[in-house]
Structure 1
Amino acid sequence: MIPHPDPIAPTPLNCVVITVSDTRSPENDRSGELIKSFLQTGGHVTVGYRIIPDEPETIASELEVWETQAVDAFIFNGGTGISKRDRTVESVSGKLERIIPGFGELFRLLSYQSIGSRAMSSRAIAGVYQEKLVFCIPGSTNGVKLAMEKLILPELVHLSQQIKK
């Protein structure tokens, strides 16, 4: 893999981290903390962090809560599988103005390389909402690490610049 040319972002972005879970709390949300840590290491700012239940209306409204704020990207973690309670994808995708299909495709490919055919159950997606990037990734720490290291951090600034052209 070609290393990212500049591991520290030349343009820090304001990001919101949202953990979608019926069981996580600030004390045990390892995935949310991991995302915030990756963002900080990459030179970005976490301007918001929330843990919300896996309820469609709550998930969808989270984008609206922040729409007038100086936010460049949302990273939702959790609720991207196929169980009955996994509703992040349906709740967010209807609000996206543009989908970035390559994100989900690459995430599943990279997941397949490490966990095999179970990767097909991931519904990770990314897109654009009101000139803000939106990523929906699994809530597992392995999934977070993969998405942040291999896909989100290397392209976050570039994608943010592209959607504002």
Structure 2
Amino acid sequence: MSRSPVRVATLTLSDTRTLDDDEGGQLLGELLKKAGFTVASHAVLREEPELLRAAIEQIASAGTADAIVTTGGTGIAPRDRTVEALAPLFEKTLDGFGEAFRRLSWDAIGPNAILSRAAAGVARGLVVIALPGSPKAVELAVTQLIGPVLAHAVALASGTGGHHHRHTQHTDSTQDKEQRG
């Protein structure tokens, strides 16, 4: 039984970008489609926490997406407030996403990677991922992290997927030797 593709709503957070010049958002949509996801919607929002929270609530209430990926507003400039906007919505944080993103970014850009506050979590049953606005950061995140993991994360967050961890049984080698001996 095959599942339908994961539906992703994308949001660009910027005080200066429009739909016409939103390079990061356009690339995000293209890469998500290439990875096998359906882009359910895209919007450009001013970097205002209330607007982001309202958009997430609207998407969750409408049931039009399984995940939301944002681009922009994850740096440390005064107007970068995406993480602060998302934090109160997160029922669960996915700390490993930001850690992995910064680790991979380190290889590409060196110590400046620590200035990224890329983050992810679960809000209202949706996986929500906040990426930097840089097209290179978007490409890195989608190809290396989001593409391989998002479908499984959505299944777990929505309660439709079981845990698929491989458990190994650990035995005490001394006890095994005694039983064999």
TM-score > 0.5 by shorter chain:
yes
Q: What TM-score do you get using the length of structure 1 for normalisation? A: 0.91
- SS of 1:67's partner is helix
Task: Determine the C-alpha separation between the residues in 1 that align with 2:3 and 2:158.
Answer: 17
In the TM superposition, 1:1-165 aligns within 5 A as 11-68=4-61, 69-165=63-159
Q: How many residues align?
A: 157
Deviation, 1:161, is 1.2
Identical columns (%): 37
Greater C-alpha Rg = 2
State the one-letter code of the partner of 2:40: V
State the one-letter code of the partner of 1:42: A
In structure 1, what is the equivalent of residue 178 of structure 2?
A: none
Task: Determine the C-alpha separation between the residues in 2 that align with 1:33 and 1:55.
Answer: 21
Deviation, 1:62, is 1.2
Give 5+ residue unaligned stretches, structure 2. Answer: 160-181
Deviation, 1:94, is 1.2
Whose relative contact order is higher, 1 or 2, with alpha carbons under 8 Å and at least 6 apart? 1
Task: Determine the C-alpha separation between the residues in 1 that align with 2:156 and 2:57.
Answer: 22
Deviation, 1:10, is 5.7
In structure 2, what is the equivalent of residue 4 of structure 1?
A: none
Give 5+ residue unaligned stretches, structure 1. Answer: 1-8
User: Deviation above 6 Å: which 4+ runs of structure 1?
Assistant: none
Task: Determine the C-alpha separation between the residues in 2 that align with 1:79 and 1:33.
Answer: 16
Q: Check conservation: 1:11, 1:157, Cα contact below 8 A.
A: no
